[in-house]
Structure 1
Amino acid sequence: MPQPDITRLNERHFRRAVELLEDSSCRQGTISTLLQMLAFLSEKLILPAEVIRWQNPYVGDRSYSNLRGNNAPAAVKRQKVVNQDALFSIADVFSRPLTNLDDSDIMITSLTALLLSAPMRIGETLRWRTDCLRSEIDKNGAKQKYLAYYVPKTQSYTRKPIPATMTEVATEAIERLRSITEEGRRLARHMELTPTKFYRHPDCPDVPDDKLLTRQQVAQALGYIKTEDCMDFIKKHTGNYRLTGFTLETLWQLILIEHRNLNPHFPYQTPLKGMKPLKMSESLMCFRRSQFGAQRSTSPVLLTPFNPDYYRKRLDGTVRLDRKNQRPICFFAKHGLDLLRLNSHSLRHFVNRLAKQSGVSIETITEWSSRASIQQTRTYLHESSEQSRNRAAVIHGTKQEQQPREPITEEEANSYGRGPFHRSRYGICRRSWRAGPCIKFADCTNCSELLACKGDKIALEAVKSDLENMQRTRDAAERAVSAGERSGGMWLAKAEPQIIRLTELIRVLENPEIPDGSPIQIQGTDFSHESTLIREKAQESGIELLDKDRLAIEYGQDLIDCLNMLTN
């Protein structure tokens, strides 16, 4: 409207508001507020009846629950899952010596470690005191570490227990943050208690407050390495670039002006709303100006409130077409890692899911996460139906977890030796000497149905490989017999005929007088399709057919020769 008039609101204004909120993350909450406003204006009889009929369009299939929440598609939920590679990259930097890390690295890695220690929001970090990590003896007599601080969203104090696996990491992270912010807290206390005196930082010129400073001393007092940067600061507050005619007293007046611009809520970092926030001199997250700068040195005389974007933007390596991908503040690019992206809030959901998968009740997770309701926790768990089924099966003992064996290498296969551990083209057959050879040992070359093709190089290589393995098995069996392992004789009795058969087959397949493409059929010794049919009929009639191979192993080849003479 040319002139804003609340009495002239109509439905099109609310529809326009919905259009503007289409891609906004706060859409659902803002529309709820619009509905409350509409109800209020209706009660006061300010709006006409047709406007009152406007309803929230984002319900049913278009509701947050179905689009982005608990019932959202799997692809949407996967986008919210924490990037595991990003976590491994941050952990790698965290494990490096402190001498190789600057304050920015320590801030990123330590905050990540703490956000993985308990489900927290990045904004809650401003409520951490230097002694926020505490401990007590739990009901089981063990020492339990926890983070204690005030949660603005629930307007209550909380104690978040830290899992034992993260205790050492969280302790180290707190100590690192305390170390890089100690000087900032000293400066904040000076600003609170003696704001009229120049702060004597370690590099401050050792001269009286009212003595004129040289150009180099002015830069040194302000904490600038380059006089050019110092001149920009002086120009901003005086209108010229001259670095002469200043004392510590006059410089301090300029610093106080800049301090008030940078810290409008001092001695606090955030506006004074509700529960009084921490003073900067009490906060674990008390940083100085440009402390995370990639090109400028840390200011020894200026503070700056901690902004969660200092964390978020450094963990965003996303390539966008509308900008040059030169990201000097990107944590991953800085350390030569893959350009990944990590959302601080995804760590909160990640810890929730780990707790749920470990059997922690949803009521405990809700309290641990400082949420208002269990329904909110269910929305953020993002657990697939298959994961729910598997977890329930494990809890109720109806599923047995099995760990599949990893494939072995050629070197590992050779380490098994020969003999009862014999090779096949499919893997390793593990037997004992006394168990004897498997009844399926080198089965294909004993089958009358096997039809080989002369000239098939792949088949020839396979037969040669089988012959080599069979010869090694025979040699191992001979050594076992010589060592007193009498059952190795069964392996010799089985291997020798196979070696002869494979040798003859290779001779035929390599015979230059036989044209390539000629079919070669082997006369089997133990079965064919016909023998299978006979065995099935015998079984139906209650007749047991003797296995000649096993008879030969148990009674010797002479018995088989006698049986053959009788059948002939």
Structure 2
Amino acid sequence: MSDVITFKPRDQLNAEQQVKEYIAFAQNLRGFDKENAPLDWGAVNWSFWIKSLAFSKLGANVRSKSFGPGDVLEPQIIDFAKSYCIHQQTLNRTSEVVQVVAVRLVEKALLDLGYAADITLVDGGVMDRAAEICDDRLVHKSEDRAYRCGQQLQALSKFLDDNKFTVRPVHWTNPIPRPNDAEGHRKREDDRKKKMPDPVVLNALAEIWVANPQEHRDIFATSNSVILLSAPGRVDELNKLAKDCVVWKENTKGEEELFLNWYGQKGFGFSDKPVPKTFQPFCLEAIERIKAITEGPRRLARILEENPDEFPIHDECPKVSQDETLMHEQILAAMCLEGTQGTPRNSVKIWLDQTLKILDKRNDCKASAAILKEALEGMYAGKPSPGKQDRLTLTLRKLNVFIREYWLPSTFPFTTESKTVKCEHALNCYYSYQFEKKFKAKLFSIEAQDNNKLNSALTPAAGARNKGLNIFERWGYEGKGFGLTTHQFRHYLNTLAAKGNVGEVERARWSSRLDLSQNKTYNHETTQEKLDRVVSIGMGSQNKNLAELSAKNEPISLKDLGGSEDRISHTTLFGKCEHDFAVEPCPKFRACLGCSKHKCIKGDDEKLRRIKFKKEALRINLEKAQKGVDEGSFGADKWLQDTMQDYERACELVNILEDPEVPDGSVIACRDDGFTEVTKALTARGKLEISGGQLPAPEKAKPGFDKDKLRKLLGR
């Protein structure tokens, strides 16, 4: 998939021909072919090759194993849908194939408007209708989901325009507004309740953890929950966590701190996530508990990888050669079957028959189907009688073909398709059926842990409870909705970090998040909690903390500066500004030291250093201006006069800020010269009215400065 050839439209072709060229191009993309099972272009359901992808109509059950004629995309558009999905997924693989949703919406819009389901007929009106369908609450009950589908429609529209696939240009943008997430909004409050875990449920989980559960499924659920509570991660990322993920680093105080080497999805990659000190012992204990129940599966993973042509000999497996014909009892032992269907022979026959029915529906298990079919055909029909004998054909080597085609994950020897961590090195590596109570663990195979495994153990969903999967129900915790989801841990830790004044960059990095703007989605502080946090850093209290707040560039309100308005001041190079930029731009053009709206705060050493630097720059300008006046340069006298005023103000300001009798935190207002750039221009043109009259424009430049004052300022 690394050698991707981008499709390039040909200018001389019309829209219909362009689409045909594109489909031919996409049919040659081989990035999703599997060994001995190339992608079947004619299939409606591509879930075997690309997760959860089926080319069904909008509203059809996409999880269905078979689709009726009325559930499949129209013949005129289905090949384009397949081409668009495989092309975009080849360029950028995602966990959810969102492109197919956009095509489904467009097909529905075309049919609603009386058109054929032809992608070349798409225009702005069709896209508008698709957006209406998308924004229908009956289709997408979530505003966020509707907005994101609208964004996919916009991406499809741009793609059609860029490649000239339509008769008329589309030129369309998503009209569905981004969901309102303003603070205090009722929906925001509802989101907070839904996305944050219930403290009662968290306490119940802690009680189960402290009880030191012994069942493997309970160890799996509680220990992985502790890891997700140690550092904010996604449940998928647990599959990429190595058994030796623990990292110790020495901080600036010489103390050892615990980190987890973590692989963040969505392009973040590997990073070391810090674990809060209070949670370190629990995190280490959780990792050790998981290691204790996964040593065997990791050892099996190594054997399977190093011996691809041999059946792995496990504790229950008969100790025979790989090519020796197996008896019925040996087959049951090798495959970890209970053998409860009467005699061992009858149990094997039923197992072969049931397994073949499953294999017949799969395209990737043809070799296994042939092996098992041969074994079943070798078993005589009817009741046992003298002279009847089975023709035994199964060997360990033949069963090895079956377990590798049918039992092992398609990503083996890696835990996921990203090929980040091998199963033999993964912390979460388990036998197939290791958590089942009705079946024996399959000691010859390992199992990939998908998102549902951990969520099913924690979820309040009725389906999980009815199947006995919910850990809280098994441990006697009752109540409707008693449970949580793994993603709630991520929201919970991000909110705690925000309450603890952890910075935006640090929170994003801790969460393996590239987009800092997403931090607010995971911060569920209440309005009161945010207000309390603002007060705790000094806002709303007068006044000794102002110097510290100014030095840290923390927010300072106008009331703290002596103003009457309830808003935050602007930070400048030298202090704080009271100007309201929502009303007009800065009338001084950032000449802060000559503006009464600018306030300096005593005790901020960095701001004082900058004012001194500005003072020195003004002194140099004074000398240049004086030289210009001495040489008779035009305008130099005005420049000198203005610079003298600026330098004098800077000197006065430095003297006040360095005065030991002035307490730290004092607010010093700059002295205003009464002019802005606008008033200066009006004065120069004689248009500024003062006390009912006008200032006449000067006839010629005159020295308007005091030479003695200048010498004093320059120390001469």
Per the normalisation by structure 2, the TM-score is: 0.50
Q: Which residue of 1 aligns with 2:181?
A: 65
Judge conservation of contact 1:213–1:244 (CA < 8 Å) in 2: no
- Structure 1 residues 54, 153: CA separation in 2 closer, same or farther (over 3 Å shift)? closer
2:181 partner amino acid? S
Cα distance, 1:396–1:278 mapped onto 2, change above 3 Å: same
Please give the alpha-carbon distance, in whole angstroms, between the structure 1 residues aligned to 2:339 and 2:200. Answer: 39
Residue number in structure 1 paired with 2:244: 131
Out of 172, 182, 187, the position equivalent to 2:285 is 172
User: Partner of 1:285 in structure 2?
Assistant: 428
- 1:96 corresponding residue in structure 2: 211
SS of equivalent residue, structure 2 residue 247: strand
1:348 to 474, 477, 490: 490
What is the aligned counterpart of 1:314 among 442, 457, 481? 457
**TM-superposition CA deviations, 1:300-341 (whole Å, max 9, x none):** 01122111110111212234xxx6962311212222212512
The 1:324–1:366 alpha-carbon spacing in structure 2 relative to 1, beyond 3 Å, is closer
Per the alignment, do residues 326 and 307 of structure 1 end up closer, same or farther by CA in structure 2, a change over 3 Å counting?
Answer: same
Superposed, which structure 2 residues align to 1:436-475 within 5 Å? none
Match of 1:3 among 76, 81, 96: 76
Aligned with residue 75 of structure 1, among 166, 174, 190: 190
> Post-superposition shift, 1:26?
4.1
The whole-number CA distance in structure 1 between the counterparts of 2:532 and 2:176 is 37
Alignment partner of 1:301: what SS? Answer: strand
Deviation at 1:41, TM superposition (A): 2.4
Task: Report what 2:643 is aligned to.
Answer: none
Q: 1:244 to 1:107 in 2, by over 3 A?
A: farther
Match of 1:253 among 380, 391, 401: 401
Q: Output the amino acid matched with 1:22.
A: H
The structural deviation recorded for 1:70 is 8.9
In the alignment, which of 509, 531, 537 is matched to residue 395 of structure 1?
537
2:328 counterpart residue number: 215
Q: 1:72 to 1:139 in 2, by over 3 A?
A: farther
Higher relative contact order, chain-length normalized (CA < 8 Å, sep 6+):
1
The CA deviation string for residues 212-254 of structure 1, in whole angstroms up to 9 with x for no partner, is 4443332222122344476554331425496983443333333
User: Hey, what does 1:482 align to over in structure 2?
Assistant: none
Q: Partner of 2:424: helix, strand, or coil?
A: coil
Aligned length: 385
- 1: CA distance, partners of 2:448 / 2:304: 14
**Cα deviation per residue 1:499-523 (whole Å; 9 max; x = unaligned)?**
xxxxxxxxxxxxxxxxxxxxxxxxx
Which has more radius of gyration? 1
Distance 2:469 2:527 in 1: 40
- Which range is displaced more, 360-369 or 241-250? 241-250
For 1:206 and 1:76, how far apart are their aligned partners in 2?
58
* Cα distance between partner residues in 1 of 2:328 and 2:177: 63
Cα–Cα, structure 1 residues 231 and 90, in superposed 2: closer, same or farther, change >3 Å?
A: farther
Which residue, out of 362, 373, 378, partners 2:504?
362
Mapped to 2, the partners of 1:212 and 1:316 lie a distance apart of: 46
Q: 2:299 aligns with which of 179, 183, 186?
A: 186
In the superposition, relative to structure 1, how do residues 179 and 64 fare at CA in structure 2: closer, same or farther (>3 Å)? Answer: farther
Q: 2:140 aligns with which of 22, 25, 35?
A: 22
Structure 2 counterpart of 1:338: 478
Does 2:175 align with 1:56?
yes
* 1:84 aligned onto 2:215: no
Using the TM superposition, give the Cα deviation of residue 258 of structure 1 relative to its aligned residue in structure 2, in angstroms: 1.9
Q: 2:409 aligns with which of 255, 263, 269?
A: 263
- Which of 296, 300, 313 pairs up with 2:443? 300
- What secondary structure is seen at the aligned counterpart in 1 of 2:491? helix
Question: In structure 1, what is the equivalent of residue 276 of structure 2?
Answer: 163
Structure 1 residues 220-231: aligned runs within 5 Å: 220-228=333-341
Structure 2 counterpart of 1:376? 518
Amino acid at match of 1:297: K
Alignment match of 1:116 (pick from 225, 229, 243): 229
Which letter maps to 1:221? Answer: A
Aligned-partner Cα distance in 1 for 2:75–2:518: 42
Aligned mates of 2:350, 2:207 — CA distance in 1: 39
Give CA-to-partner distance per residue, 1:144-181, whole Å, 9 cap, x none: 11011322213322110000111111101111112222
**2: CA distance, partners of 1:48 / 1:197:** 59
3-state SS in 2 of match to 1:55 = coil
Change (3 A) 1:111 1:64: farther
Structure 2 match to 1:42: 161
Against the structure 1 CA distance between its residues 53 and 255, is the aligned structure 2 distance closer, same or farther, given a 3 Å change threshold?
closer
Q: Give the conservation status (yes or no) of the 8 Å contact 1:132–1:148.
A: yes
Distance 1:28 1:101 in 2: 46
Aligned-residue CA RMSD (Å): 2.9
Partner secondary structure for residue 207 of structure 2: helix
SS in 1 for 2:257: strand
1:271 alignment partner AA: E
Asked whether 1:234 is paired with 2:234, we answer no
Segments of structure 2 that go 5 or more residues without pairing to the other structure are: 1-73, 78-117, 342-346, 357-371, 380-389, 542-716
Q: Retained in 2: the 8 A contact 1:70–1:378?
A: no
Percent of pairs with identical residues: 25
TM-score computed with the length of structure 1 as normaliser? 0.62
Contact 2:457 2:464 in 1 (8 A): no
Post-superposition CA distance 1:399-418 (Å, at most 9, x none):
9xxxxxxxxxxxxxxxxxxx
